[in-house]
Structure 1
Amino acid sequence: MSLTEGHILNVWIFFSVFLRFGIFTDGQIVYSITEEVNPGTAVGNLAKDFNLNLQDIERRGFQIVSETNRRYFDLNVKTGILLVKDRIDRDEICEQNVKCSLPLEAIVNSPLNIYRFEVNVLDINDNSPIFPTAKTTLNISELAFPGEQFALPSPFDADVGSNSVKSYKLSPNEHFSLDVQSGGEPSVSAELVLQKALDREKQPVIELTLTAVDGGKPPRSGTMQIIVNVEDINDNIPVFSKSLYKARVNENAPPGTSIIRVQASDPDEGVNGEIVYALVNHNNDKHVDSFLIHPETGEITVKGDVDYERKNAVELRVQAKDKGHKPRPALCKVLLEIVDINDNVPKISVTSLVNTVKEDAPIDTMVGMITVTDSDAGKNGQVTLKIQGSASFKVQNSYNNYYTLVVNGPLDRERASEYNVTITATDEGTPPLSSTSVITVHVSDVNDNAPRFPEPVINVYVKENSQIGAVIHTVSAFDPDVGDNARITYYLLESSKSGPVTSMININSDSGDIRSLRSFNYEEIKTFEFKVQATDSGVPPLSSNVSVNVFILDENDNSPLIIAPTYSVHGAENANVLICFTFRGFVS
């Protein structure tokens, strides 16, 4: 490489790196960067452009999530800068589309949010025009009229825009010039034009060099050698009624469907005036193979698959050639517009679906992202998204065909731990086409239920003289929550009526077993009461109480007891004695 070429390359690399910029289009950030830049080249500052706090983007897991285009880019979570990760070949990714836009998505968690942006990959002039053959041969009559045109193979240039083929050059000669068709035409093509009559006896073979030049800076070029064999043939060429025909055909039209008829005439007589029509396809365009022309009538019909989504317009080059001993051709163009029909069902894609949604999630809490695509055009590609029969969720249109699934009503895990949300996408075609997707949303528990006892009051009956440490009753509460929110601990609460009870009983905090700490004596205490509190382990914890009444049952554990008698003496002679007996512990 010369010093001048090296200098130009450095300037170009410098220009490529700094050509990127961030703009907002319809609320979305768009960056631009040229293809083939070195890995590590900065594309844009996502943290700055999305107003994210640089200190916590790493903690929140800021990352690129787009499946298709993620391999080309990397995100520095410490600086928030989007970097080129891998070599980007625009010609490979977008072929010859004028715009090469890579849609990307990034997400952050806690809370979950998704950011969409695009990176436009700008073309550089890294491809030269290439002709399909290095040499082409033309057989031209010496009686050809000046102004007669001859089709030439068109070169292919993988670059687009200003870097594609823009001009042609023909090596200096006295017989031929070029007719370059560019303005208003679908492609830049060149045809050989005869400027001066040929004389086979003076020069039977003419060798020309055709050069195709693109519009890059610096420009690139490709060449093809043209061998013109000068021959004696009839002296009139077919003439088309139009140089350019236009027609429309519906996609998916069946084979044999008639599209248009071209017509050419030749004033010669006999076989020199009989015309044969053919389609010229020097570039081996596979879309041209979907059509057929009748060699005698010039009627163009459908031959194969016609698909609007694959190609919305096709350019045909029709040749009319007479049947003379040395036939002479004429050319015209036919522009076929492919009309879209509603033959594609909308596709639903769910991205960034959260694992679970809390049952106390507020309205408009985002659950996931939904993308709807329809390859059709116009109304056939306009899609409406609806939820079928679910009042707890709704979809909101966030950007073009991007939607968010959000909470639309109260959730209750105890009633439904998961929701199957049915989403239907319907286009506006006639008749409309639709597709359905079911999204399962899992609901996580919050501590919104206190433990519940079966009854507000529990009566317990205990025989006196029962064994110390025996279980006199087991309390049990139910909590419909799950996990720690349903793990219950039991506590004794003193009663103001019965006084301290912890000396008489205790409770197992896990099982709810109430055990006696002493043997009860019906003659000393007949009843006492206390409360038991059940508390869950949620944050914050919830609790409820139950009153427990303990009744001591009497047993026959006392013998009769004689109390000292009472008596009186009335005179020595007559002693009337009154004896009183009192019996205790007698059970009839």
Structure 2
Amino acid sequence: EVGTKVIELLAVDPDNGPYGTIDYTIINKLASEKFAIDDKGRIATLQKLDRENSTERIIAIKIMAKDRGGKVAFCTVRIILTDENDNPPQFKASEYTLSIQSNVSKGSPVIQVLAYDADEGVNADVTYSVDSVEDIAEDLVEINAATGVVKVKESLVGLENRALNFKVKAEDSRPPHWNSLVPVNLQVVPREVSLPRFSEPLYTFSASEDLPEGAEIGSVKAFAEEPIIYSLVKGTTAESNKDEVFSLDKKTGVLKVRKPVDHETTKWYQVDVLAHCSHQETDLVSLVSVNIQVQDINDNKPVFEADPYKAFVLENMPSGTTVIQVTANDQDTGSDGQVTYSLEAESGHHLRGLFTIDGESGWITTLKELDCEAQETYRFHVVATDHGRKVQLSSQTLVEVTVTDDNDNPP
């Protein structure tokens, strides 16, 4: 909730009077939007936080403590947001329809229905059960509570051309025990009827972030005695193609990209494909799952946590005095997301011999003593450049250094 107390910090300054009075400032922008710190060092929330938002799972709060004499110290508080069971399980699809032959063996798996819970740990553990069973199906189907695999319990001979309709319930493991239901419709067909048969039990494809609209990423193939029509199961989540990122050619089974894919938003998709054909006016349906992995490219610049950074240095401090740490984050993976820091060339020209920056950590330090009477404020840019293999992307931020006065001049 807003106003929740997080932690109380204490910076100690043995000086008396103003030189011993400390002001606290949150340096980084993301943290300053979500947390506040008062003059006692107490940190509290400014807004409600959600662990399912990836930017809020772990938040680094970078704090500067400055006394009235201009001396500073830095501290980082890392907030780890713990999970609350506030999400119900969500099935990949809103409904499942499938054909099965009447001579299917007892105990044979028919279909696997999966639900995902956005929570973590025990809160995300899902248990499956058969719910809302129609009379005809009551003693004929069962489901594995852990895997969601539906099996046939008894012979279906004699039930040809009839439907087994029931619902599967997915329930998470902690109070308040959120649950969801999905309808499953199994159409029983005679044993001599040949169902569409996919060439693979599971298809796996990859799609790069820079694929243009209409690009082909793979194809599925089913075999049957009659012409086959392919279709995608309408998904209920981003990962199951709710936003129709992918399209399927109904005649060829070719899977294409309809909209741009973004590895930083969705790293993988699992979509279900149906193969339809007709036999004596009976619709025959088979289902297969397709996994699509999104391949990352270097398409994100480093983003600084603040712009500008405002720092303070007491004059006459020795060479090597820490000024401030700048940090830039890059959402790409691997070397594409690794960042190196440098002083901008133009800035470095007139600041040469005054400041330097550690290329890996982003800590800026002094190279010599600074004199407030000579110059009170320095402004320069820091550049963050990623280690992209094909192209390197960069961004910059402004750093403002104020040199605070020390009583070093006699009347």
* 1:102 corresponding residue in structure 2: 59
Q: 2:85 aligns with which of 118, 121, 125?
A: 125
Separation in structure 1 between the aligned mates of residue 81 and residue 39 of structure 2, nearest angstrom: 23
The one-letter code sitting in structure 2 at the alignment partner of 1:46 is L
Aligned pair in 2 of structure 1 residues 101, 249: CA closer, same or farther (>3 Å)?
same
Quick check: 1:233–1:326 contact (8 Å CA) kept in 2? no
Q: 1:292 aligns with which of 244, 247, 250?
A: 247
Separation in structure 1 between the aligned mates of residue 259 and residue 215 of structure 2, nearest angstrom: 10
Quick check: 2:166–2:183 contact (8 Å CA) kept in 1? yes
* 1:511 corresponding residue in structure 2: none
Shift of 1:374: 1.4
Q: Secondary structure at the match of 1:170?
A: strand
Aligned pair in 2 of structure 1 residues 252, 85: CA closer, same or farther (>3 Å)?
closer
Separation in structure 2 between the aligned mates of residue 46 and residue 383 of structure 1, nearest angstrom: 30
* 2:387 corresponding residue in structure 1: 428
Counterparts of 1:56-205 in structure 2 under 5 Å?
59-64=21-26, 66-70=28-32, 73=35, 78=40, 82=43, 87-91=48-52, 93-94=53-54, 100-110=57-67, 111-129=71-89, 136=95, 138=97, 140=99, 143=102, 145-146=104-105, 147=108, 149-150=110-111, 152=113, 155=115, 157-171=117-131, 173-178=138-143, 182=147, 190=148, 192-198=150-156, 204=162
Structure 1, 196-205 or 299-308: larger mean CA deviation = 196-205
Counterparts of 1:317-328 in structure 2 under 5 Å?
317-324=272-279, 325-328=281-284
* 2:9 corresponding residue in structure 1: 46
Shift of 1:86: 5.7
1:239 aligns with 2:197: yes
* 1:251 corresponding residue in structure 2: 209
* 1:212 corresponding residue in structure 2: 170
Shift of 1:116: 1.1
Shift of 1:394: 1.1
Q: Output the TM-score relative to the length of structure 2.
A: 0.77
Shift of 1:332: 2.2
Separation in structure 2 between the aligned mates of residue 420 and residue 85 of structure 1, nearest angstrom: 31
* 1:187 corresponding residue in structure 2: none
The one-letter code sitting in structure 2 at the alignment partner of 1:341 is I
| Structure 1 unmatched runs, 5+ | 1-35, 183-189, 447-537, 543-588
* 1:4 corresponding residue in structure 2: none
Separation in structure 2 between the aligned mates of residue 82 and residue 241 of structure 1, nearest angstrom: 59
Shift of 1:74: 5.5
How many residue pairs are counted as aligned between the two chains? 388
* 1:277 corresponding residue in structure 2: 230
Shift of 1:224: 4.4
The one-letter code sitting in structure 2 at the alignment partner of 1:327 is D
Structure 1, 250-259 or 379-388: larger mean CA deviation = 250-259
Quick check: 1:60–1:109 contact (8 Å CA) kept in 2? yes
Shift of 1:169: 0.4
Q: Output the TM-score relative to the length of structure 1.
A: 0.56
Separation in structure 1 between the aligned mates of residue 49 and residue 20 of structure 2, nearest angstrom: 26
The one-letter code sitting in structure 1 at the alignment partner of 2:51 is R
Quick check: 2:25–2:37 contact (8 Å CA) kept in 1? yes
The one-letter code sitting in structure 2 at the alignment partner of 1:300 is L
Quick check: 2:168–2:181 contact (8 Å CA) kept in 1? yes
The one-letter code sitting in structure 2 at the alignment partner of 1:255 is E
Structure 1, 366-375 or 228-237: larger mean CA deviation = 228-237
CA displacement 1:396-421 (0-9 Å, x = unmatched): 3685xxx2322223445676565442
* 1:571 corresponding residue in structure 2: none
1:347 aligns with 2:303: yes
1:396 aligns with 2:349: no
RMSD (Å), alpha carbons = 4.0
Shift of 1:170: 0.9
Shift of 1:304: 1.7
The one-letter code sitting in structure 2 at the alignment partner of 1:282 is G
Shift of 1:181: 7.4
Q: Secondary structure at the match of 1:90?
A: coil
Quick check: 1:315–1:336 contact (8 Å CA) kept in 2? yes
Shift of 1:73: 4.9
CA displacement 1:94-130 (0-9 Å, x = unmatched): 4xx9x92222222211222221122211112234336
Q: Secondary structure at the match of 2:266?
A: coil
Separation in structure 2 between the aligned mates of residue 364 and residue 144 of structure 1, nearest angstrom: 81
Shift of 1:88: 4.0
Separation in structure 2 between the aligned mates of residue 436 and residue 72 of structure 1, nearest angstrom: 24
Quick check: 1:74–1:84 contact (8 Å CA) kept in 2? yes
CA displacement 1:164-208 (0-9 Å, x = unmatched): 2522001472222235775xxxxxxx3544444446769945453
Aligned pair in 2 of structure 1 residues 253, 434: CA closer, same or farther (>3 Å)?
same
CA displacement 1:535-588 (0-9 Å, x = unmatched): xxx75426xxxxxxxxxxxxxxxxxxxxxxxxxxxxxxxxxxxxxxxxxxxxxx
Q: 1:370 aligns with which of 298, 303, 326?
A: 326
Shift of 1:239: 2.2
Quick check: 2:66–2:73 contact (8 Å CA) kept in 1? yes
The one-letter code sitting in structure 2 at the alignment partner of 1:159 is D
Structure with bigger RCO (C-alpha 8 Å, 6+ apart): 2
Separation in structure 1 between the aligned mates of residue 380 and residue 287 of structure 2, nearest angstrom: 60
| Structure 2 unmatched runs, 5+ | none
Q: 1:406 aligns with which of 365, 375, 381?
A: 365
Shift of 1:384: 0.9
Separation in structure 2 between the aligned mates of residue 441 and residue 54 of structure 1, nearest angstrom: 22
Shift of 1:215: 2.3
CA displacement 1:4-32 (0-9 Å, x = unmatched): xxxxxxxxxxxxxxxxxxxxxxxxxxxxx
CA displacement 1:487-536 (0-9 Å, x = unmatched): xxxxxxxxxxxxxxxxxxxxxxxxxxxxxxxxxxxxxxxxxxxxxxxxxx
Percent same amino acid among aligned pairs?
Answer: 23
* 1:331 corresponding residue in structure 2: 287
Counterparts of 1:443-458 in structure 2 under 5 Å?
443=403
Separation in structure 1 between the aligned mates of residue 369 and residue 33 of structure 2, nearest angstrom: 40
Separation in structure 2 between the aligned mates of residue 348 and residue 84 of structure 1, nearest angstrom: 22
1:264 aligns with 2:133: no
